[in-house]
A and B are shown apart, each in its own frame.
Chain A
Amino acid sequence: MENATIAADALTEVQHQRLAALQDTLLPASADGTLPSAREIDFPAYLREQAPEFRAELIRILDRLDGGFPDLALERRVELVREFSQSDAPAFRRLLFRVYDSYYQDDRVRLAIGARPGPPFPGGHSIPAGDLSSLEAVKARGKGYRR
């Protein structure tokens, strides 16, 4: 089953490990434990369903990472990713966009930040009408336009 997944994602086991470490570097779990690490997001599934065009670039990025990257401490991984972000800013930005997008679609994440899971339509939102009573004072200032 694991091999089948690897084949479908076109990621090797090593690449999977690097991806998880990379996700965790970009968005680690929050200190208070309310927000998960991005490594808990099924990024290969996201790629398959929503961003297949990014897969080749992702593989290139993963293959650029040092072989020991997954085993490094977070601080060291941050340093290495920062170097990558400075050496190839466009590629880094595309990667970050995809990691953010997959993360902030996740129902657990959305609930934790106070956003309703799923797309906004058709449920929509309710917002209060708001207090308009101070407009009486605005009106009392009189006509404010010129002809």
Chain B
Amino acid sequence: MAEMAASPNNDPVDVLIIGAGASGAAIAWSLTETRMRILCLEQGDWMSSSHYPTTRKNWEAQQFGAFHVDPNVRGRDTDYPVNVTDSPIDVLNFNAVGGSTINYAAHFPRLHPSDFRVRSLDGVADDWPVTYDDLEPYFVQNDRIMGVSGLAGDPMYPPKQPPLPPLPIGRVGEVVAAGFDRLGWHWWPSDAAILSQPYEGRDRCLNLNTCMTGCSQGAKGSTDITYWPEAIRSGIELRTRCRVREVTVNEHGMADGAIYYDADGRECFQKAEVVIMACNGVGTPRILLNSRSPQFPDGLANRSGLVGKNLMFHPVALATGVFEERLDTHMGPNGCCILSKEFYETDPERGFVRGYNMQVTRGSGGPLATAMRGLANGDIPWGPGHHEKFRRRFDRTVQCLAVCEDLPEECNRVTLDPDLKDSNGIPAPKVTYRLSENSRKMLAHGLERGKEVMRAAGAVEIIETPLLRPAGWHLLGTARMGSDPERSVVNSWGRSHDVKNLFIVDGSIFVTAGGVNPTSTIQALALYIGDRIKANLANLFDD
């Protein structure tokens, strides 16, 4: 380490957290009461609400550029490239304090109780080593901190009480809900990490419809404005523009810190007693696989060979309904309106196991997005026919997404690309992924049901998207939990089987994916792991 440049304040720390997104923020906050010296390294910047696109006239164009959801398109110097040439689904994320909560839709469902018991209930994959009931108090705690709006009483969940009343469902919600009612199907207003009322010093949602390029109002619960301010006030240090290359180990095979590049590109070393990975289901295996040593020649914590394997997305099929009446679809939260769990639980007669969430969203958004998506779909031409077609689409399209549960398969994986590298020369992740037959059947079923509800709601035209390519928000399963060190990477509280002072708290540790957006469960798990760490501090590294 002697040749490495000295970095400011790189005295040894008790706990080093890598990544300041959804899970890194939650566990940092959870560990504040230990009074340990805790440092978080984040490769991105602090974002500023005044710099989000919504404050400028070209706000729409930026979703196609500097605020694109795909890091390969966005190409900020704080991003790393991802090779997705062997995947039908693109990886989406954001790299900043707050991670992908900066540009997520904040659709905030919890996994269902059955999602933790898929082997017992449906004979597939594996049960989780934790249950819904184990996580329930942490769901509640996380809802309170993130600021979740929703409506109690959904019969598809055990009783729960969101801290804030539901967001308005608007004309879109009313029209599509009527379609669900006509079919006799379940529907419910979405839980959302978006404020329906002023809360904890943050103001309510202004219905900007720009959740996925950052919320200027601060109504959306991103962790840079929820967990982090409180964690930092409590003494945790957060260092930005620090990109970790590898986690290092000592002669005893214990993690002893991380090598990272600082804002000036200098290679630095940070010593730590405990290392916590919180870089998402692609970023975490990338770093672990790049952390090779004589003790771990195949990557850190990878004696099972499972680091990077069992990658799960949520494959999405999309039915876009076009309505004759205006539905205000360029207003309101993009992704949070109403949902249906009618096809969430397994029904063998459908020809596949597990199920999907039907998420109703607000269509194409603003006029530029409407025009560009219409161009891509081939239904809004440029030239003399443009205006007539545009008028039939703008403010009149609604999307019903079938968010399908993906099952773990070792062939779906994250590896290190032999050629592609980020701006610091660190190997980029390569995603190898194929859809299973079960997922294909589920997607087809979900698309048909989406079309059915759109027709029932009165859509005059339906545009089909059998598989949405830009849908890789949810990056799960690449360092799975379990009790068997040969079949899992971490134990039931996120501790590596192989390296007793290495923890993982992000979506990598999911055993199965469920069929809902995972952020609520990722954060509840991080809080749960935080409590387990605190409860075991005296013998944290024991077998």
Taking Cβ atoms with an 8 Å cutoff, the residues of A that contact B are 25-28, 30-31, 35, 50, 74, 78, 81, 96-97, 100-101, 104-105, 109-110, 113-115, 118-132, 134-135, 137-139, 141-147
Interface of B is mostly: loop
The answer to whether A121 touches B216 (Cβ under 8 A) is yes
Query: B395: which A residues are within 8 A, CB to CB?
Result: 114-115
Measured in the bound complex, the distance between the Cα atoms of B372 and A117 in whole Å is 19
Query: A134 to chain B: closest CB distance in Å?
Result: 5
User: In chain B, residues 365-381, which have Cβ atoms closer than 8 Å to a Cβ of chain A?
Assistant: 366-368, 371-372, 375
List chain A residues, Cβ under 8 A from B153. Answer: 135, 139
Tell me if B206 and A124 are in contact (CB < 8 A).
yes
B54 engages A131 (CB within 8 Å): no
B113 lies within 8 A of A145 (CB): yes
| Contacts A/B (CB < 8 Å), 13 sampled | A27-B383, A96-B382, A104-B60, A115-B367, A118-B57, A131-B174, A131-B177, A132-B169, A138-B188, A145-B345, A146-B113, A146-B114, A147-B117
* Among B59, B153, B155: residue with most chain A CB under 10 A: B155
Q: Which of B16-24, B323-331, B516-524 contacts A (4 or more CB under 8 A)?
A: B323-331
B341 touches A125 (CB 8 A): no
Candidates A96, A125, A134; contact of B331 at CB < 8 Å: A125
Query: CA separation between A78 and B384, bound complex, in Å?
Result: 9
Closest A residue to B158 using CB positions: A145
- Complex A-B, nearest 8 residue pairs according to Cβ-Cβ distance, in ascending order: A124-B206, A130-B169, A125-B331, A127-B170, A121-B54, A104-B367, A30-B387, A146-B114
Segment at the A interface, from B92-100, B207-215, B275-283, B299-307? B207-215
Residues on the A chain within 8 Å of B112, using CB: 145-146
Residues of B within 8 A of A114 (CB): 326, 394-395
Are B383 and A101 closer than 8 Å at their CB atoms? no
B173 A130 Cβ-Cβ under 8 A: yes
For B60, the chain A residues whose CB sits under 8 A away are: 101, 104-105
Given the interface pairs A96-B382, A114-B395, the reply to whether A125 lies near B345 with Cβ below 8 Å is no
Of residues 23 to 59 in B, which have CB atoms within 8 Å of A's CB atoms? 52-59
Query: Contact check: which of B178, B188, B209, B386 meets A120 at CB < 8 Å?
Result: B209
B383 to chain A, nearest CB (A): 5
Inside 8 A of A119's CB, which chain B residues have their CB? 53-57, 59
A144 near B156: Cβ-Cβ < 8 Å: yes
Nearest residue, chain B, Cβ from A92: B382
| Interface assignment of B189: CB less than 8 Å from any CB of chain A | yes
Q: Distance in Å from the Cβ of A83 to the closest Cβ of chain B?
A: 13
- Inter-chain contact B209/A125, CB cutoff 8 Å: yes
- By a CB distance below 8 angstroms, the chain B residues around A121 are 52, 54-55, 59, 206, 208, 210, 216-217
Which residue, A28, A96, A101, A141, has most C-beta atoms of chain B within 10 A? A101
Nearest chain B residue, comparing its CB with the CB of A120: B208
Which among B52, B151, B156, B210 is the interface contact of A145 at CB below 8 angstroms?
B156
B472 an interface residue at 8 Å Cβ cutoff?
no
CB distance from A144 to the nearest CB of B (A): 5
Which residues of chain B have a CB within 8 Å of any CB of chain A? Answer: 52-61, 64, 112-114, 117, 121, 132, 151, 153, 155-158, 166, 168-171, 173-174, 177-178, 181, 186-189, 206-210, 216-217, 326, 328, 330-332, 341, 344-345, 366-368, 371-372, 375, 382-384, 386-388, 390-391, 394-395
CB B361 to nearest CB in A, in angstroms, measures: 14
Contacts A114-B326, A115-B367; A134 near B177 (Cβ below 8 A): yes
A132 / chain B contacts, CB cutoff of 8 Å? 151, 166, 169, 189
Bound-state CA distance A77–B360 (Å) is 41
Q: In the complex, what's the smallest C-beta–C-beta distance from A24 to chain B, in angstroms?
A: 10
Beyond A50-B58, A129-B168, A145-B157, whether A135 also contacts B207 by CB under 8 A is: no
Kindly report which residue of chain A lies nearest to residue B394, judged by CB atoms: A113
CA distance A27 to B388 in the complex (A): 11
A96 touches B375 (CB 8 A): yes
C-alpha spacing A141/B345, complex, angstroms = 15
What residues on A are CB-neighbors of B168 within 8 Å? Answer: 127-130
Q: A114-B395, A138-B186, A146-B345 known; A28 and B174 CB under 8 Å?
A: no
**Complex: A120 Cα to B59 Cα, angstroms:** 8
Establish whether residues B382 and A27, one from each chain, have CB atoms under 8 Å apart when the complex forms: yes
Q: Given the known A-B contacts A25-B383, A144-B345, are A101 and B209 also in contact in the complex, defined by CB atoms under 8 Å?
A: no
**Across the interface, do A115 and B330 meet the contact criterion of CB distance under 8 Å?**
yes
Contact of B328 among A30, A120, A127, A138 (CB under 8 A): A127
Partner of A125 from B169, B178, B187, B332 at Cβ < 8 Å:
B332
B181 touches A137 (CB 8 A): yes
Given contacts A105-B57, A118-B57, A146-B114, contact A125 B383 (CB under 8 A): no
Contacts of A130 in B (CB 8 A): 168-171, 173-174, 177
Report whether B387 and A35 are in contact in the complex, using a CB–CB cutoff of 8 Å: yes
Separation of A105 and B189 alpha carbons in the complex (Å)? 32
The smallest beta-carbon distance between B215 and chain A, in angstroms, is: 9
Q: Given A127-B328, A132-B151, is A138 in contact with B383 using a C-beta cutoff of 8 Å?
A: no
A113 to B392, CA, bound (A): 11
* B61 and A101 within 8 A (CB): yes
Residues of B within 8 A of A97 (CB): 61, 64, 372
A130, A141, A146: which has the most chain B beta carbons within 10 Å? A130
Among A31, A110, A129, A142, which residue has the most Cβ atoms of chain B within 10 A? A129
Complex CA–CA separation, A129 to B173 (angstroms): 9
Please state if A26 and B382 are interface contacts (CB–CB under 8 Å): yes
Q: Which residue of A lies closest to B216 (CB)?
A: A121
Let me know if B114 and A145 touch, CB within 8 A: yes
| Nearest CB in chain A: distance from B448 CB, A | 21
For the complex, what is the distance from the CA of A92 to the CA of B26, rounded to whole Å? Answer: 45
Known A-B contacts A113-B394, A115-B367, A121-B206; A144 and B181 likewise in contact (beta carbons under 8 Å): no
Q: B189 and A120: CB pair below 8 A?
A: no
**Which A residues are CB-close (under 8 A) to B207?**
124-127
Among A101, A113, A144, the residue within 8 A (CB) of B155 is A144
List the A side residues contacting B326 at CB < 8 Å.
114
